Structure 1
Amino acid sequence: MESNIYQVYEDEIHSLEEEIEMLTQKFENNIQEPTFYSDEEIQISIKSHQGESKQRESSPDLKAELDYLESDLSFLMKLTGIWFTDYSKKTVEKTGNKIIQKYRLSGNCYSLPFQLEFQLLEIQNKKSVSAVVTDLSIIMESGEYSDLSKFVSSAEERGNLLLFFRSLSSFAEWCEHRKCTFKHFKAKYPDIVRLPEGLSGDYMVIRSPELSGFELMIVWKIYVDEHGRVTPVLDLLPRIPMQALEDKGAVENGPKCFRNMLLLLGIEASIESLIKSVGMEK
């Protein structure tokens, strides 16, 4: 009886050994057998590998690219003087190949603040994408600049954002240049140069310390037409007491001579020469 039991165990062990040997051979055969893939499967595998490699390799490059874009944006801001402080975008409508988005922008162009609100209609065709600006609204504190106010109204009607930013940049840059010039001469000749309207005014007054009532007013206007052309215009307005009018011709020719000096010497050098020519330099 006991021997029969041992025989059953031996048979079971033998059976398991055979099964293990069979599975081992099958496993080894599968390992050694080559696997063939179609061309399509190979291309898919290559593209998948390239995508994973690029994803791994681009991680350090993303920061470098971001730094480059920020540097490029900073350069453009310094070049144009335009700095955006707030931005928002909202999708109003999206049907088929048409998208309407509403934008809000605010910022400063040098010392001039501005706010914009407009809608952008994008229509995507098979070959290209067209975009049209509509409902453009521009808010600026341009009360002291009547020409700029007229130009802003014209830009709103046309919906021309590029023209607006280009002309605003040029206009604001000239305003900044005028302010810096006035500040320079006020600091250099504090007892002679007056700025009745401050640094943001459009004229400066030169007073003679020796001749009472003798003044030269340099008027510096900055015009912008409805087409966005910015033109700085400088002129000289002398104010001389009657008792000092010995040579009326010199007084009448003064503005013309000043305009000729502007063409030859430039703005700063012409003002400096004008101050020296009337004996106001100490």
Structure 2
Amino acid sequence: MEENMEENMEENVEENVEENKEENMEENMEENVEEVVVMEAQIKCLQAEVAALQQQQQQNDRNTREPCRGRMQDALRYVCGPRGGGAGGAGGAGGAGVLSRLREELQEMERDLNTQTEMNGIRLSSCSSKTLRCSGSRLQQICLTGCCSEISFQVEFSLSELQEAQRSERTISDLNVVMDGSDLHDLSSFLSGVEESRDLLLLFRTLRRFSERCDDRRRAFQHFQEKYPAVVSLPGGCRSEVMTLHHPQLPGCVLLVHWSVEVSRGGGVTPKIDLLTKIPERALQTDSSGAAGGAADAFQSLLRILGAEAAVESLVRAVSA
């Protein structure tokens, strides 16, 4: 009896275990099916969103390309003009005509540029511009580099243009001028004033006048050195401000012609020539007439009567006599 009871209990336990396994498997399968259904629904939603985004992107591309294509066609139509009859020979002739007109315009611009360069002495080597647009206005950041005679310059400024109805107003701001050359200490005050006033016309006009006066001094110094090599010397070169005069038979006695070009803050350019003397004390003691002491004032009188080059010429001849 006991053995039969034990066997029946074991069989019941095994049957319960099997039934529990089957129930768990069915529940897991139902849960998995539900998850698959949810994931499929999410995938379909994502696919629909991707398709909508792709369609919107294509529409945006069309909206961007069509205005650009229209503007390009308008520009070509403006350059080429109305086309004639056939597309063959007439089209080729029209293209050749356009190139010919453009070549003539380019040559004319080059001639104008050369003429302007000869007139004002300013040569531009590069010009860069960056345009920034905002509501109702346009801002250009411009950088110019070039030279005027022996002076190299770089000019940076901002040009803003405000459009109002049928008129536009341009203003210059953030002007910065950098120069490289000799005698620039005479320009320091002027450049500070120009950067404050932002007067580009005054800048280039004064730079041309200053360079012309410096070239006049260079030519004069070079002329006197070549004509009177035994008396005239240029320690700093022909572009320096100082020319020395000394007679071989008067050692220690030196006259210095200091020729500067002053530029006022308002752009006035004025040559200034002074005579400085370097004479030994012993020679001054023998100068009973005081000629050495009055040499500077006498030279200023010559300048007022004869002008710069003629006064310097008279001084050189007096020293070399």
Asked if Structure 1 and Structure 2 have the same fold, meaning a TM-score greater than 0.5 normalized by the shorter chain, the answer is yes
Once residues 188 and 52 of structure 1 are traced to their aligned partners in structure 2, the CA distance between those partners, rounded to angstroms, is: 68
**Aligned counterpart, 1:194:** 233
**Aligned counterpart, 2:305:** 264
Q: By how many angstroms is 1:64 displaced?
A: 4.9
Displacement over 6 Å in runs of 4+ = 55-59
Alpha-carbon spacing, 1:252–1:58, altered in 2? closer, same or farther (3 Å):
farther
> CA deviation digits over 1:203-224, x for unaligned, max 9?
1000112212221110111111
Q: By how many angstroms is 1:133 displaced?
A: 0.7
Alpha-carbon spacing, 1:249–1:88, altered in 2? closer, same or farther (3 Å):
same
Count of matched residue positions in the alignment of Structure 1 and Structure 2 = 229
Once residues 143 and 204 of structure 1 are traced to their aligned partners in structure 2, the CA distance between those partners, rounded to angstroms, is: 16
Q: Could you tell me which amino acid in structure 2 is paired with residue 86 of structure 1?
A: S
2:152 and 2:181 in contact (8 A); partners too: no
- Mark the structure with the bigger radius of gyration: 2
TM-score, length-scaled by structure 1: 0.72
1:162-173 equivalences in 2 (<5 Å): 162-173=201-212
**Aligned counterpart, 1:118:** 157
1:116-265 equivalences in 2 (<5 Å): 116-141=155-180, 144-245=183-284, 246-265=287-306
Q: Could you tell me which amino acid in structure 1 is paired with residue 175 of structure 2?
A: L
Secondary structure, counterpart of 1:256 in structure 2: helix
Give the structure with the higher percent helix: 2
Q: By how many angstroms is 1:126 displaced?
A: 3.0
**Aligned counterpart, 2:139:** 100
Structure 2 runs not aligned, ≥5 long: 1-80, 84-93
Once residues 260 and 241 of structure 2 are traced to their aligned partners in structure 1, the CA distance between those partners, rounded to angstroms, is: 6
Secondary structure, counterpart of 1:255 in structure 2: helix
**Which of 109, 115, 118 in structure 1 is aligned with 2:148?**
109
Q: By how many angstroms is 1:95 displaced?
A: 2.8
**Aligned counterpart, 1:73:** 113
2:242 and 2:259 in contact (8 A); partners too: yes
Secondary structure, counterpart of 2:294 in structure 1: helix
1:151 and 1:228 in contact (8 A); partners too: yes
Once residues 98 and 291 of structure 2 are traced to their aligned partners in structure 1, the CA distance between those partners, rounded to angstroms, is: 72
> CA deviation digits over 1:97-156, x for unaligned, max 9?
x11111011000110001111110111233432211111111123685323122222211
**Aligned counterpart, 2:75:** none
Alpha-carbon spacing, 1:93–1:143, altered in 2? closer, same or farther (3 Å):
farther
Once residues 118 and 249 of structure 1 are traced to their aligned partners in structure 2, the CA distance between those partners, rounded to angstroms, is: 56
**Aligned counterpart, 1:5:** none
Residue 89 in structure 1 maps to residue 129 in structure 2? yes
Alpha-carbon spacing, 1:111–1:142, altered in 2? closer, same or farther (3 Å):
closer
Cα RMSD for the two superposed structures: 2.6
Deviates more, 1:259-268 or 1:239-248: 239-248
Q: Could you tell me which amino acid in structure 2 is paired with residue 271 of structure 1?
A: V
2:231 and 2:316 in contact (8 A); partners too: no
1:142 and 1:148 in contact (8 A); partners too: no
- Percent same amino acid at aligned positions? 37
TM-score, length-scaled by structure 2: 0.64
1:143 and 1:149 in contact (8 A); partners too: no
Once residues 111 and 303 of structure 2 are traced to their aligned partners in structure 1, the CA distance between those partners, rounded to angstroms, is: 37
Once residues 109 and 304 of structure 2 are traced to their aligned partners in structure 1, the CA distance between those partners, rounded to angstroms, is: 40
> CA deviation digits over 1:148-174, x for unaligned, max 9?
122222211222211111111111221
Secondary structure, counterpart of 1:235 in structure 2: strand
1:219 and 1:237 in contact (8 A); partners too: yes
1:142 and 1:149 in contact (8 A); partners too: no
**Aligned counterpart, 1:48:** none
1:14-53 equivalences in 2 (<5 Å): none
